[in-house]
């Protein structure tokens, strides 16, 4: 029924205007000099040069990537076993657990991050717990650990849900078959479960890494005013410094890095899938 | 699976659930706290809920969050579903092109999407506010709806619609009677994702909003610097609303199931969900209607104020609204620089409350309108020290709001006044106080203390001297492990968390009134004597009302409420003397009355070039601090 294809037309126009044009504008700003009037733009690479020739900016970028990587690893370490446990429970418990994990993600992220301030602050529950356990007085708020904690807290549900959904799609008779063919539990996990859950793992990594790199409210709320990640740097350029062109250039750099990483991840996924099909 | 193998799994699961819910429960518990503290529970009370209900800001943030979420969900679900059906019948090239476009907001970091949309609205001069926020939410929600509807549509038999039409159905009937019921599960899950994304969003809303429109995320972000247990109350409200709607969504199908035959169930779910959304929408608008005040004779007018956060007495605006019947919209800025960028980009406000040097800049760039002095009769009540300052020598453009100095707040149990007198600002380089100091995140005042410590004028334009000041600050943040804060310093120093900090005199007065051990010291090397004042920009929509507001703020009642609540020095002479007198709130607190007549004290002049240098160098100080920490 060809008539229905016209239904997509308005959206194509909308997407070009609201999704593609903004990206082009960022690119335009990043390659032009100061000033907001696009009529009088002059091409320049100075913003990119400024970023790449300054070791302090580069250090901010690498620190952001490193903390996002740490977050992703921690989420994977916590999320995989949890998802595995859920997928092995009976259906009723499975539904309850999935609901329990989903509910917090429905509550606004800033609200949830703010909730940690009381727990972590001076004289708060975590500090008292530390003293009680004999660990001494732990200064937690406004440290990198607090930022890491905030990120894992906010993003680990995505990891669990993604891995769980791909584990649930797995046919349980595959494991029986593996056992029949003489594989022990560990082997069956390595040869069957792990490869089959890989798409979920990869989706989970994407859903955690992406927001972790660019987050700027978690560092600001839990890391304090002098904790600067790439997201804070961009915010700062737009909101307080007024250097929109430089800010746009940093955004472009970030978008390109993310795109390259995504392409890489997709490649790992497809080669792996190809490999497991052959084997 | 053997039972024993599941024990570690159960422990992990239990720990995770505790991890997820502990902060939420903690927050709910403390929303009922009698006291202000976030760590000590001093008794049960509903006062923060009362506070929340009385705060127009908070109620509007709740309204904005949920009305945008519901509208964005409805629009993006309908548009997304229709487009997905259309796309499934389109050519492969088109389908793939749209998929690529949809991937942009999904695969890009939020901040990139946010900045793109902000630049889009600014380039096409769409006034930022509720509408732009809604458009942005629709823009990032539709791709998720399409993503979840598309597989369902494509798994349908392609001849289904044709068959229906052969049997005499119109295309519309074929769409709604045949196709939509088949893909309902996809539509519902798409709508749920859209709703979650919208409620959860902060970054995109933050960049595309304007005119003081804020959702909960923006409110929490801008209010989180000072302890404010009302945030816990609002957050608890959100938890309750979300839990109730989740229960509703999960229970409705179960209830309906009992009453209907299985074949019609899906459609029923669809209509139930639509019905629930409609009821919620109506509820939200009724709620909003309840917020609107009844109209009074000469009203309906709006006054837009742009001022620093937490800088106004609690009753100032309600009383003014009551008095004039006008509606006041307040928007907050973190720094004069942030304010300038917005105003220079054409956003219209009726009143701004910037600092001295910024007023000088605004005057020199012809962005302010001269005041009609005859409309501000109460300016006679103002104290001489706050009038006729160099930034606006005849007060042609500005009426002082608060004034004061910059100084060192110190914990007298850790630091003695003698030591401070001897070392002055250099105490911030004394490793005895390593990890025990706060710097204030203000580029001007940080450079002021560094320049004063080095014996230079704070208005220097020598790059050499500024570079030395940068080195001074960089060594302070790297060797002293200083924390750079803004308003968090107020509560933290009131709790005695650190030995020393840089503060504005008014915050110093508040801190001293909360904690007797704290003192305020103005170093002998000199300091910044500042004044914040009210001005009317040239593009103000309602200058008459703005004059009315200025006049009102000079009055005894408003000035008293303002200064008593915030702790900054009032320009109203009577109020200032009364608050400092023996019965006053700030009796004996030296920070309340700034030093005057000291030769080394200065006030800021505006200089475009040094401003830019200082701004860049201060960014670098913060980056260096961040890179050296941990």
Question: What's the token pair of residue A141?
Answer: 């708020």
In chain B, residues 247-276 whose CB comes closer than 8 Å to chain A? 250
Where is the domain boundary, B291, B325, B353? Answer: B291
> Are A166 and A214 a contacting pair, CB within 8 Å?
no
- What's residue A279's pLDDT? 34
Domain annotation covers residue B507: yes
User: Range of B425's domain?
Assistant: 402-531+586-628
- What's residue A250's pLDDT? 94
Domain annotation covers residue B225: yes
Taking an 8 Å cut-off on Cβ atoms, the answer to whether B13 and A255 are in contact is no
Least Cα distance to A83 among A185, A160, A162 occurs for A160
> For residues A4 and A95, which has the higher predicted lDDT (pLDDT)?
A95
- What's residue A277's pLDDT? 45
Which residues, 6 or more positions from A115, have their beta carbon under 8 angstroms from its beta carbon? B23, B24, B26, B27, B232, B235
Which CATH number is B352's domain given? Answer: 3.40.190.10
Q: Which of A142, A244, A262 has its CB closest to that of B107? A: A262
B574 with B599, same domain?
no
Taking an 8 Å cut-off on Cβ atoms, the answer to whether B82 and A104 are in contact is no
pLDDT reading at A1 higher than 70: no
User: Range of A199's domain?
Assistant: 51-86+142-272
Residue in chain B closest to A88 (alpha carbons) equals B1
Report the sign of the C-alpha dihedral through residues B437, B442, B447, B449, in that order: negative
Domain annotation covers residue A96: no
B158 with B178, same domain?
yes
Q: What percent of chain B has pLDDT over 90?
A: 44
Count: domains in chain B? 4
Relative to beta strand B398-411, strand B327-333 is unpaired
Report the sign of the C-alpha dihedral through residues A151, A152, A155, A159, in that order: positive
Q: Which of A81, A106, A259 has its CB closest to that of B199? A: A106
Which CATH number is B64's domain given? Answer: 1.10.3720.10
Query: What are A177's strand-pairing partners?
Result: none
B153 with B120, same domain?
yes
B324 with B393, same domain?
yes
Residue in chain A closest to B202 (alpha carbons) equals A110
Question: What's the token pair of residue B8?
Answer: 């570690």
Q: Which of B1, B111, B231 has its CB closest to that of A114? A: B231
Taking an 8 Å cut-off on Cβ atoms, the answer to whether A21 and B120 are in contact is yes
Question: What's the token pair of residue A247?
Answer: 């800010």
In chain B, residues 537-556 whose CB comes closer than 8 Å to chain A? none
Domain annotation covers residue A184: yes
Q: Which residues from chain A sit within 8 angstroms of residue B89, using beta carbons? A: 1-2, 4-5, 7-8
Domain annotation covers residue A15: no
Domain annotation covers residue B98: yes
Residue in chain B closest to A124 (alpha carbons) equals B39
Q: b vs e for B200-227, b when ≥16 Cβ sit within 10 Å of the residue's Cβ?
A: bbbbbbbbbbbbbbbbbbbbbbbbbbbb
- State the Cα–Cα distance between residues B144 and A124, nearest whole angstrom: 39
Domain annotation covers residue B37: no
- What's residue B2's pLDDT? 45
Widest distance between CA atoms in chain A: 73
B311 with B452, same domain?
no
Chain A nearest C-alpha distance from B282 (Å):
22
Q: Which of A8, A99, A216 has its CB closest to that of B90? A: A8
Which residues, 6 or more positions from B461, have their beta carbon under 8 angstroms from its beta carbon? B607, B609, B610
Taking an 8 Å cut-off on Cβ atoms, the answer to whether B19 and A153 are in contact is yes
Query: For tokens 């329990």, what's the residue?
Result: A100
Domain annotation covers residue B297: no
> Are B143 and B106 a contacting pair, CB within 8 Å?
yes
Domain annotation covers residue A219: yes
Which CATH number is A199's domain given? Answer: 1.10.3720.10
Mean of pLDDT over chain A: 85
Chains A, B: CB pairs < 8 Å: 308
Which residues, 6 or more positions from B100, have their beta carbon under 8 angstroms from its beta carbon? none
Taking an 8 Å cut-off on Cβ atoms, the answer to whether B116 and A25 are in contact is yes
> Are A18 and B139 a contacting pair, CB within 8 Å?
yes
Where is average pLDDT lowest: A108-112, A273-277, B472-476, B555-559? A273-277
Domain annotation covers residue A213: yes
> Are B567 and B586 a contacting pair, CB within 8 Å?
yes
Complex ipTM: 0.88
B199 with B342, same domain?
no
Taking an 8 Å cut-off on Cβ atoms, the answer to whether B24 and A85 are in contact is no
Domain annotation covers residue A30: no
Question: In B129-275, at which residue ranges do the beta strands (DSSP E only) sit?
Answer: none
Chain B nearest C-alpha distance from A24 (Å):
8
- State the Cα–Cα distance between residues B101 and B88, nearest whole angstrom: 16
B210 with B278, same domain?
yes
Domain annotation covers residue B134: yes
Domain annotation covers residue B569: yes
Residue in chain B closest to A62 (alpha carbons) equals B627
Count: domains in chain A? 1
Where is the domain boundary, B271, B291, B311? Answer: B291
Least Cα distance to B119 among A29, A33, A14 occurs for A29
B243 with B329, same domain?
no
Entry pTM: 0.82
Residue in chain A closest to B84 (alpha carbons) equals A8
Query: For tokens 């709740």, what's the residue?
Result: B62
B506 with B615, same domain?
yes
Domain annotation covers residue B477: yes
Report the sign of the C-alpha dihedral through residues A142, A143, A146, A152, in that order: positive
Residues (pLDDT < 70) of chain B are 1-5, 224-225, 253-274, 281-298, 629-630
Residue in chain B closest to A13 (alpha carbons) equals B98
Question: What's the token pair of residue B254?
Answer: 């179960």
Mean pLDDT calculated for residue range A165-188: 82
- What's residue B517's pLDDT? 93
Q: What is the CA radius of gyration of chain B?
A: 29
């Amino acid at each position: 029924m060809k008539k229905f294809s016209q239904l997509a037309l308005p959206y194509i126009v909308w997407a070009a205007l609201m999704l593609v044009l903004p990206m082009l504008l960022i690119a335009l700003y990043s390659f032009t000099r100061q000033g907001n009037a696009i009529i009088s733009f002059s091409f320049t690479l100075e913003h990119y040069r400024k970023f790449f020739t300054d070791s302090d900016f580069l250090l901010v970028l690498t620190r952001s990537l490193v903390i996002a990587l740490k977050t992703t690893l921690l989420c994977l370490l916590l999320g995989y076993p949890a998802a595995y446990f859920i997928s092995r429970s009976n259906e009723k418990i499975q539904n309850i657990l999935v609901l329990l994990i989903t509910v917090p993600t429905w509550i606004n992220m800033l609200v949830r991050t703010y909730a940690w301030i009381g727990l972590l602050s001076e004289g708060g529950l975590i500090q008292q717990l530390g003293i009680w356990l004999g660990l001494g007085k732990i200064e937690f708020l406004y440290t990198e650990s607090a930022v890491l904690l905030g990120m894992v807290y906010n993003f680990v549900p995505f990891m669990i849900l993604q891995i769980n959904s791909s584990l649930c799609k797995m046919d349980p008779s595959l494991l029986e078959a593996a056992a029949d063919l003489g594989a022990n539990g560990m082997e069956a996990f390595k040869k069957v479960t792990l490869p089959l859950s890989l798409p979920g793992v990869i989706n989970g990594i994407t859903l955690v890494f992406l927001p972790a790199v660019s987050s700027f409210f978690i560092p600001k709320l839990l890391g304090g005013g002098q904790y600067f990640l790439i997201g804070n740097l961009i915010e700062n350029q737009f909101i307080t410094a007024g250097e929109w062109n430089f800010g746009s250039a940093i955004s472009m750099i970030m978008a390109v890095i993310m795109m390259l990483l995504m392409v890489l991840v997709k490649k790992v996924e497809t080669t792996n899938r190809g490999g497991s099909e052959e084997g | 699976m053997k039972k024993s193998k599941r024990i570690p799994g159960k422990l992990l699961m239990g720990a995770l659930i505790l991890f997820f819910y502990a902060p939420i429960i903690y927050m709910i518990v403390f929303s009922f706290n009698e006291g202000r503290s976030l760590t000590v529970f001093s008794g049960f009370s509903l006062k923060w809920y009362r506070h929340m209900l009385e705060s127009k800001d908070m109620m509007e943030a709740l309204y904005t969050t949920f009305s945008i979420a519901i509208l964005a969900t409805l629009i993006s679900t309908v548009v997304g579903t229709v487009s997905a059906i259309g796309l499934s019948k389109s050519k492969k090239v088109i389908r793939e092109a749209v998929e690529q476009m949809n991937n942009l907001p999904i695969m890009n970091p939020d901040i990139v999407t946010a900045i793109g949309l902000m630049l889009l609205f600014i380039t096409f001069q769409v006034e930022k506010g509720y509408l732009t926020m809604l458009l942005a939410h629709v823009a990032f929600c539709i791709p998720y709806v399409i993503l979840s509807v598309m597989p369902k549509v494509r798994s349908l038999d392609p001849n289904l619609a044709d068959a229906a039409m052969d049997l005499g159905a119109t295309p519309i009937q074929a769409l709604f009677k045949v196709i939509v019921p088949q893909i309902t599960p996809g539509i519902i899950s798409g709508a749920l994702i859209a709703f979650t994304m919208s409620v959860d969003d902060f970054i995109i809303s933050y960049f595309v909003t304007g005119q003081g429109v804020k959702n909960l995320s923006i409110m929490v972000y801008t209010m989180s610097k000072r302890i404010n247990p009302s945030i816990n109350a609002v957050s608890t409200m959100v938890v309750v609303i979300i839990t109730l709607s989740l229960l509703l969504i999960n229970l409705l199908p179960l209830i309906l199931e009992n009453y209907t035959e299985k074949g019609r169930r899906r459609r029923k779910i669809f209509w139930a969900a639509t019905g629930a959304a409609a009821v919620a929408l109506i509820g939200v608008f009724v709620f909003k209607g309840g917020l609107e005040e009844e109209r009074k004779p000469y009203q309906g007018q709006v006054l837009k104020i742009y001022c620093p956060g937490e800088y106004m007495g609690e009753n100032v605006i309600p009383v003014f609204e009551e008095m004039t019947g006008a509606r006041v919209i307040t928007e907050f800025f973190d720094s004069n620089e942030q304010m300038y960028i917005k105003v220079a980009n054409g956003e219209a406000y009726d009143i701004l409350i910037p600092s001295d040097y910024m007023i000088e800049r605004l005057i020199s760039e012809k962005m302010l309108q001269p005041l009609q002095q005859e409309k501000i009769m109460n300016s006679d009540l103002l104290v001489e020290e706050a009038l006729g300052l160099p930034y606006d020598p005849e007060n042609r453009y500005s009426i002082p709001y608060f004034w004061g100095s910059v100084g060192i707040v110190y914990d007298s149990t850790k630091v003695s006044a003698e030591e401070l007198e001897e070392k002055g600002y250099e105490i911030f380089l004394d490793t005895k106080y390593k990890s025990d100091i706060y710097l204030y995140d203000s580029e001007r005042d940080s450079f002021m203390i560094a320049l004063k410590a080095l014996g230079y004028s704070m208005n220097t334009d020598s790059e050499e001297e500024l570079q030395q000041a940068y080195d001074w600050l960089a060594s302070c943040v790297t060797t002293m492990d200083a924390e750079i804060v803004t308003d968090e310093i107020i509560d933290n120093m009131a709790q005695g968390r650190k030995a020393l900090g840089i503060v504005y005199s008014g915050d110093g007065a508040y801190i001293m009134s909360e904690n007797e051990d704290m003192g305020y010291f103005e170093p002998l090397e000199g300091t910044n004597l500042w004044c914040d004042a009210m001005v009317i920009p040239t593009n103000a929509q309602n200058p008459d009302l703005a004059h009315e507001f200025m006049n009102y703020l000079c009055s005894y009642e408003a000035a008293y409420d303002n200064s008593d609540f915030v702790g900054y020095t009032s320009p109203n002479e009577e109020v200032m003397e009364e608050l400092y007198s023996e019965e006053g709130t700030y009796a004996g607190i030296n920070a309340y009355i700034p030093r005057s007549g000291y030769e080394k004290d200065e006030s800021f002049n505006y200089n475009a070039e040094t401003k830019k240098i200082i701004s860049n160098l201060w960014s670098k100080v913060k980056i260096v601090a961040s890179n050296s920490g941990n």
